[in-house]
Amino acid sequence: MKVSVSPGHNINGTLILPLFEGSEAVPESLQGGLHTALKGQINRILSEGDFKAKIKTTMSIIGSEGGKAMLVGLGKEDDADIHAYRKAGAAVIANRKKAHGTDLTVRFSEASVEAMGAFAEGMLLRDYSYDHYKQQEEDDKEAELDVRITCDEGQEDALASLTKIHAGVASGVHLSRDLGNCPPNDMYPEAFADQAWEWAKDYDNVEVTIINYDQAVKAGMGGLVAVGMGSARKPCMVIFEMNREKTGRCPMLVGKGITFDTGGISLKPGANMDEMKYDMGGSATVFGTMQALASTGHKGKVVAITCMAENMPSSNAQRPGDVITTLSGKTIEILNTDAEGRLVLSDGLWKAGEFDPEYIIDFATLTGACVVALGHEATGLWSNDDDFRTRIHEAGNAVDELAWPMPLLPAFEKEMTNSKIADTRNLGAGRYGGANTAAAFLKQFVPNRNYEKDGEQITWAHMEIAGTYWGAKTNSMVGNGATGIHVRTMYHLITNG
Ligand code: BES
Ligand code: ZN
Ligand code: ZN
């Protein structure tokens, strides 16, 4: 989608008219340049109450004497925050076929730059489809949209730069979605690493380092190795460093990257197993965030780690009963090979300490229990720092990506250390509180500052996206498949402090 911004009244192609509930006629300020007959038709529809302008609704109109328009509801004027504008923008694209053309001119009545920007953001975000694997004739492919947003004199520069940022961040969301949607025969650990490597060539300020299987074995990454060794496609760790020459502590992101989770020897049932291609959603979130930051010219230092492995049953796979030694030195008794995400993350979190980060946030599709708790509506959010947890919760609210506070309790941690033969175990004692025991397990692998034995633990948060990375039917920025959630939350958190 091409988006341009300019003041003025001329309309190219279809007029997109965002309206509040209760609008009885085309607002005075929008009438200039509007085809008289089309204006009459729209006014009739509005005065007779045929379009109520409820949030996210649209109505398309073909003028009897020429001209095309699409009305789009912003809901009640009193409730119209930037989220309403973003949703309305997305609704236009969701109904793009009814716009009857690819040239769109959006015209607002007295909207702020932020509101218009949010509308453009919604259009940009929703303009996504995953059809790389469909045979298509050139003619059947959706043509690129050319969107012009008209604004008042004096608003154009601020709106153009805001729209550019939204376009850059949307490219990060779309990268995350592409990675998540990619079939697991083509998205395996090395494929992800190769893509990261190629991607970094486009940015002078980004370095990608790949720790391959042999190096991971040598380094003692027992968690990553144990999970990945059952597959012919070997595991790896990918490290992204942005503006690495900058001094000082920086944000650090860590992602679970299981490119396919069969469960391993603790094999999953067959139903819906295809969905386990999304089990690398955490690493896709991390990569997408790096793209959002890089493409918008972020100047600060940011480091990210993705832990890539395919969890397969084979004669080389780990077994329930095995004891592994992680990078931290801590040993883990494997009681269920399907609780593998926490194993790869144990090495990723420990490795993160090497970069002396300001904070570490991990993203992971860790447990079905989290989906039971929060459905597809909110990400589970745990942290060892209450203020930090609140900051992330608020960053999520600011961009309409909910992350809900969950408890990190000593009792859960105790449950996970209750192994007779190892320091810790990868399974809780029973099936209750499964998302919380997983979070408590991870906490044990968050290093202290400079790895000092009695030092203070690095500020850390865990974001469980098992329910929100896909299947989110109420997320109006997404039609189907991978959602790309939290690229925007992270962009907001990292760039707004
Ligand atoms: N990748 C799954 C978690 C998952 C389940 C994500 C459903 C999305 C939807 C994870 O590796 C897993 O299998 N977890 C187990 C943990 C259990 C063995 C403690 C689970 O949730 O059953
Ligand atoms: Zn699993
Ligand atoms: Zn998994």
Which residues are CB-neighbours of 471 under 8 A, at least 6 positions away? 275, 376
The predicted pLDDT at position 175 comes to 98
| Spatial distance between the Cα atoms of 99 and 14, rounded to a whole number of angstroms | 6
Which residues are CB-neighbours of 375 under 8 A, at least 6 positions away? 467
Classify residue 18 as exposed, middle or buried by CB count within 10 Å of its CB (0-12, 13-18, 19+): buried
Nearest in space to 361 (alpha carbons), one of 377, 345, 375, 339: 345
Cα–Cα separations (whole angstroms), residue 346 to 389, 447, 464 = 20, 10, 15
Digit-by-digit pLDDT tens for the chain (497 residues) are: 999 999 988 889 999 999 999 999 999 888 888 889 999 999 999 999 999 999 999 999 999 898 999 999 999 999 999 999 999 999 999 999 999 999 999 999 889 999 999 999 999 999 999 999 999 877 777 899 999 999 999 999 999 999 999 999 999 999 999 999 999 999 999 999 999 999 999 999 999 999 999 999 999 999 999 999 999 999 999 999 999 999 999 999 999 999 999 999 999 999 999 999 999 999 999 999 999 999 999 999 999 999 999 999 999 999 999 999 999 999 999 999 999 999 999 999 999 999 999 999 999 999 999 999 999 999 999 999 999 999 999 999 999 999 999 999 999 999 999 999 999 999 999 989 999 999 999 999 999 999 999 999 999 999 999 999 998 888 999 999 999 999 999 999 999 96
| Spatial distance between the Cα atoms of 268 and 52, rounded to a whole number of angstroms | 48
Ligand 3 centroid from CA 299, angstroms: 34
For ligand 1, residues with CB inside 6 Å are 261, 279, 336, 338-341, 365-369, 371, 427, 434, 466
The predicted pLDDT at position 497 comes to 66
Tokens of 315: 């004669």
Number of neighbouring beta carbons within 10 Å of residue 282: 32
For the chain, the domains span 2-127, 169-495
- Please identify every residue whose CB atom is under 5 Å from ligand 2, which is an ion: 261, 338, 340
The predicted pLDDT at position 365 comes to 98
Which residues are CB-neighbours of 214 under 8 A, at least 6 positions away? none
Number of neighbouring beta carbons within 10 Å of residue 428: 24
Fold of 2-127: Leucine Aminopeptidase, subunit E; domain 1 (3.40.220)
Mutation choice for ligand 1 from 311, 366, 416, CB with most ligand atoms inside 8 A: 366
| Spatial distance between the Cα atoms of 363 and 277, rounded to a whole number of angstroms | 16
Q: Is 268 a catalytic residue?
A: yes
| Amino acid of residue 418 | N
Q: Give me the residue label for tokens 């290093």.
A: 447
Domain 169-495 has CATH 3.40.630.10: yes
Ligand 1 centroid from CA 134, angstroms: 30
Q: How many Cα neighbours within 13 Å face the side chain of 290?
A: 32
Ligand 3 centroid from CA 314, angstroms: 17
- CA torsion 317-321-325-326 (nearest 10°) is 70
Exactly one of 177, 342, 351, 443 is catalytic; name it.
342
| Spatial distance between the Cα atoms of 271 and 368, rounded to a whole number of angstroms | 14
The predicted pLDDT at position 125 comes to 98
Q: Is 301 a catalytic residue?
A: no
Classify residue 26 as exposed, middle or buried by CB count within 10 Å of its CB (0-12, 13-18, 19+): buried
Where does 312-357 show beta strands of DSSP type E? 323-325, 331-333
| Spatial distance between the Cα atoms of 168 and 289, rounded to a whole number of angstroms | 10
| Amino acid of residue 163 | T
Q: CA quadruple 448, 450, 456, 461: dihedral positive or negative?
A: negative
Query: How many degrees, rounded to 5, is the angle at CA 447 between CA 445 and CA 453?
Result: 115
Mutation choice for ligand 1 from 307, 345, 346, 367, CB with most ligand atoms inside 8 A: 367
Do residues 159 and 149 make contact, with C-beta atoms less than 8 angstroms apart? yes
The predicted pLDDT at position 258 comes to 99
Query: How many degrees, rounded to 5, is the angle at CA 85 between CA 82 and CA 91?
Result: 145
Which residues are CB-neighbours of 200 under 8 A, at least 6 positions away? 206, 207, 208, 240
The predicted pLDDT at position 136 comes to 81
Do residues 224 and 237 make contact, with C-beta atoms less than 8 angstroms apart? yes
Ligand 1 centroid from CA 177, angstroms: 20
